[in-house]
Structure 1
Amino acid sequence: MDLTITLLLVVALFAILGSGVWIGLALTGVAWIGMELFTSRPVGDSMAVTIWGSASSWTLTALPLFVWMGEILFRTKLSEDMFKGLAPWLEKLPGRLLHTNIIGCTIFAAVSGSSAATCATIGKMTLPELKRRGYPEHIAIGTLAGAGTLGLLIPPSIIMIVYGVTANVSIAQLFIAGVVPGLLLASLFMGYTIVWSLLHPDQIPPADQNFTFLQKLSESRHLIPVISLIAAVLGSIYTGIATATEAAALGVVGSMIIALTQGELNWKNFRDGLLGATRLYCMIALILAGAAFLTLAMGYIGLPRHLAEWIGSLNLSPFSLILALMVFFVVLGCFLDGISIVVLTMGVLLPTVEAAGLDLVWFGIFVVLVVEMAQITPPVGFNLFVLQGMTKKEITWLAKHAFPMFLLMIGAVLLLYFFPGLITWLPQQMAG
């Protein structure tokens, strides 16, 4: 019976999604169908209370603020300044300016919170510049596809806030836990670029000019605004001075100050940034509300409990469970965006994860990392869409050259499983 109900709801969900209905409304519709057909609970009041409860969460206030901060910075010269500040230091490293993609994404991820925004902002600036200087297009785009996903893992991260709210885990703890895995993944991407460059030295153009140490320091002044903003936002969270929401508000003010000093804070940019953030947040909020109602409906039908019991009966080891979930999330990522994946699955999976003895902060970082992998898998890899819009390349071409990054992410998941302290050590120190 459970299998029949599950299949019916899954078919209903994909039928509604396939007809072009917004994801949030599709989730709400499927929840309504499930409760109406398979429970005796009145649907109307349940829907009203659940949607209001999910939309009025104070913790969720950080989300639109971080989105707004990213939108403001997207309209400044911040990415251009990062290129100027980073380029002189990379002339001696194998791969040279190819690393501006990865380091630029790592830095911008720490003030953006969005994978698509990170990929688009850095790509708009680095790809034309790298092409002009003669760097191979496929490796430049491939590394950008992978590094752009760091927008999800390096805090502040929109998807971490969504996970924290749905799993009832401290967002500040998640932010702290994401730092080391984010830097680890960036290091793996840079390592791959170095190895590729050493194997193909003829494809890397010679250095433009040799900078003296003082000239390098002089060019580094362009990095001061972005590093100051990162220090203010993340420092206020890690030192306990501010909550994630207060730090997000601080980030908005800081990004406006940066835009003002660069002469980019005019009425048009302010309005466009505010409208862009509002549109994106409304979409996320509608998905969250629909997912909260679907989670409630599934709870009344009893699907999460039965699924947890079924997975428990398989007697999977924690490692087998992690591998199975990794495949599950990547397959889901072929059809849904990251936020939808998290809110759709957490209500069902968390009881199983807790029963397996996995730490929920560790599991949150694992989920974010696997959702990152889904960002560069066709047909619905969001970063691939962003890159397709910028480069006009085929999705299959983009996916092919992003595939090495995908394999590196699998390697990162295995490293984090066998060395969980990479995630949990820093939050434990902060909590201590």
Structure 2
Amino acid sequence: MIDPVTIGVIGTIAVFVLLFLGMPIAFALMLVGFSGISMLASVDAALPKVASTVWEVSSFYPYTVIPLFIVMGGFASSSGLTSEMYGTFDKWMRRLPGGLAIATIGACGGFSAVSGSSVATAAAMGTVALPEMKRFNYKSSLAAGSVAAGGTLGFLIPPSIGFVVYGMITEQSIGKLLVAGMLPGVVLGLAYVGIVIAWVKMYPDAAPTSPERVTWAEKFASLKGVWEPLVLFMVVMGGIYAGFFTPTEAGAVGATVLFLVALIKRRLSWQVLIGALIESVRISVMVLFLVAGANVFSYFLALSTIPTQVAGWAASLDVSPYLIHTVIILIYLFLGCFLDAISMMVLTLPVIYPIITALHFDPIWFGVIAVLMMEAGLITPPMGLNIFTVAGVSPDIKLETIFKGVAPFLLAIFFVAFLITVIPGIATLLPNMMTR
């Protein structure tokens, strides 16, 4: 009889082989998980496990937060929040070094507060910000890089699909995870701004100073462009933080408010409404199948005893837990070159999460670190989704130019990951203060 650990190793290798052959990761995980359970237990045990897992994941009420967060982003775009926010940040930041790039990052952060998708953030801001930066002769690398990097804030600043998936897989509080991303999101946004300023100071021709001056009256008048997303963010995240809403209820409130705003502004057509709903269904089904596949694969790995043995081995090593933590970050950085963020999370957490708990790291804190590294994967060649998104909305910018433009912003992500490791309170302060 083959040793269970050997079967687990073979199954893990098989997943990567199937991915290399082009099979969708959800089906690869489910197929290997089913086959492994059949070998370690029986087919009679494997079939009900697959069926019950798909049913439980698709019918679990808290997971309805995913389509609600996606719909929020769709309604935010149709209601004109994107262009209004960019206009506000543009007027206040234009005279700074790289002011339009800074405004882009600020607007990305604002849009992230009402959208759970990094790709949606990059696409929405790319259509607004890139033509403006091109008009003022910004270097394509800085312009595209700031949009692609700014879009990653959508994966960290709540509402974030990344935290929802992490909570689903690790059974941690989704509400606490969402709140945990608030301070790190602000810190990362400021780090991006620092990268832009340093870039322009070193290469002034990358962002010529705008000759157009904005009066104080125009600046204050533009603030009307940020009150809607600010109020919505306070209602949604404030409600979660104070315990008034569950994340699902907060998502419903946010989606309803944005729906009404779009209606009042008369910017919600049937085409936009149907498009937002179809996109929410598409992304939700994709994520839920990924989680279902990950759960089946996790059950198979549990039967093989690999996670517990690896966790025990890691805990027994006579090295600093932070060395293992660093190795995990490097693994995520490598995988980010080939896998999208959600796929990377569902593929690795069944093995990595037991190691984190065995080393007595805070699961909420590590969730922020994991999401940060998923962000890096969004702008890491050759599979960075945000890079291809920016290339899609601006075909005149070469792909290699965008890759060159986002490289400096990766330094900001690593810096923030290091900062959160040294000062864990940045990630854990707000969750620890929550009422529930």
TM-score, L = length of structure 2? 0.94
Aligned partner of 1:19 in structure 2 is 21
1:154-169 pair list within 5 angstroms: 154-169=157-172
Q: Which residue among 412, 419, 423 is the counterpart of 2:423?
A: 419
Aligned partner of 1:402 in structure 2 is 406
The Cα offsets for residues 356-413 of structure 1, whole Å up to 9 and x where unpaired, read as 1100110110100011111111222111221222233454432222111112111111
Aligned-partner SS, 1:430: coil
Q: Which amino acid letter does the alignment assign opposite residue 342 of structure 1?
A: M
Q: Distance in 2 between matches of 1:43 and 1:206?
A: 64
Q: May I ask how many residue pairs the two structures share in their alignment?
A: 432
Q: Which amino acid letter does the alignment assign opposite residue 50 of structure 1?
A: T
The reply to whether residue 227 of structure 1 matches residue 230 of structure 2 is yes
Q: Distance in 1 between matches of 2:209 and 2:414?
A: 33
The Cα offsets for residues 225-257 of structure 1, whole Å up to 9 and x where unpaired, read as 222222221222122211100000011111112
- Contact persistence 1:99–1:193 (CA under 8 A): yes
Q: Which residue among 107, 111, 120 is the counterpart of 1:108?
A: 111
Q: Which residue among 367, 372, 382 is the counterpart of 1:369?
A: 372
Aligned partner of 2:212 in structure 1 is 209
Aligned pair in 2 of structure 1 residues 74, 315: CA closer, same or farther (>3 Å)?
farther
**More off after superposition, 291-300 vs 138-147:** 138-147
Aligned pair in 2 of structure 1 residues 7, 385: CA closer, same or farther (>3 Å)?
farther
Deviation at 1:140, TM superposition (A): 1.3
Q: Which amino acid letter does the alignment assign opposite residue 426 of structure 1?
A: L
Q: Distance in 1 between matches of 2:399 and 2:97?
A: 28
Deviation at 1:316, TM superposition (A): 3.5
The reply to whether residue 53 of structure 1 matches residue 62 of structure 2 is no
Q: Distance in 1 between matches of 2:230 and 2:36?
A: 49
1:132-281 pair list within 5 angstroms: 132-281=135-284
Task: Give the gaps of 5 or more residues in structure 1.
Answer: none
Q: Distance in 2 between matches of 1:327 and 1:419?
A: 20
**More off after superposition, 232-241 vs 198-207:** 198-207
Q: Distance in 2 between matches of 1:200 and 1:241?
A: 49
Aligned partner of 2:34 in structure 1 is 32
Q: Which amino acid letter does the alignment assign opposite residue 18 of structure 1?
A: F
- Contact persistence 2:379–2:387 (CA under 8 A): yes
Aligned partner of 2:312 in structure 1 is 309
Q: Distance in 2 between matches of 1:22 and 1:221?
A: 44
Q: Which residue among 124, 132, 139 is the counterpart of 2:127?
A: 124
Deviation at 1:182, TM superposition (A): 0.5
**More off after superposition, 72-81 vs 198-207:** 198-207
Q: Distance in 2 between matches of 1:316 and 1:403?
A: 32
Q: Which amino acid letter does the alignment assign opposite residue 66 of structure 1?
A: F
Q: Distance in 1 between matches of 2:384 and 2:198?
A: 26
Q: Distance in 2 between matches of 1:366 and 1:412?
A: 9
**More off after superposition, 204-213 vs 130-139:** 204-213
Q: Distance in 1 between matches of 2:59 and 2:301?
A: 22
Q: Distance in 2 between matches of 1:134 and 1:400?
A: 18
Q: Which amino acid letter does the alignment assign opposite residue 5 of structure 1?
A: I
- Contact persistence 1:295–1:344 (CA under 8 A): no
**More off after superposition, 217-226 vs 371-380:** 217-226
Aligned partner of 2:46 in structure 1 is 43
Q: Which amino acid letter does the alignment assign opposite residue 181 of structure 2?
A: G
Deviation at 1:66, TM superposition (A): 0.5
**More off after superposition, 70-79 vs 185-194:** 70-79
- Contact persistence 1:39–1:301 (CA under 8 A): no
Q: Which amino acid letter does the alignment assign opposite residue 38 of structure 1?
A: L
Task: Give the gaps of 5 or more residues in structure 2.
Answer: none
Deviation at 1:124, TM superposition (A): 1.1
- Contact persistence 1:85–1:223 (CA under 8 A): yes
Aligned partner of 1:347 in structure 2 is 350
Q: Distance in 1 between matches of 2:79 and 2:264?
A: 10
- Contact persistence 2:170–2:353 (CA under 8 A): yes
Deviation at 1:7, TM superposition (A): 4.0
Q: Distance in 2 between matches of 1:277 and 1:427?
A: 28
TM-score, L = length of structure 1? 0.95
- Contact persistence 1:109–1:118 (CA under 8 A): yes
Q: Distance in 1 between matches of 2:38 and 2:205?
A: 66
- Contact persistence 2:420–2:426 (CA under 8 A): yes
Aligned-partner SS, 2:23: coil
**More off after superposition, 196-205 vs 57-66:** 196-205
**More off after superposition, 328-337 vs 145-154:** 328-337
Q: Which amino acid letter does the alignment assign opposite residue 25 of structure 1?
A: F
Compute the RMSD of aligned alpha carbons.
Answer: 1.8
- Contact persistence 2:8–2:301 (CA under 8 A): no
Deviation at 1:65, TM superposition (A): 0.8
Q: Distance in 1 between matches of 2:317 and 2:8?
A: 19
Q: Distance in 1 between matches of 2:350 and 2:206?
A: 49
Aligned-partner SS, 2:433: helix
Aligned-partner SS, 1:156: coil
Q: Distance in 2 between matches of 1:278 and 1:203?
A: 41
**More off after superposition, 221-230 vs 360-369:** 221-230
Q: Distance in 2 between matches of 1:332 and 1:284?
A: 18
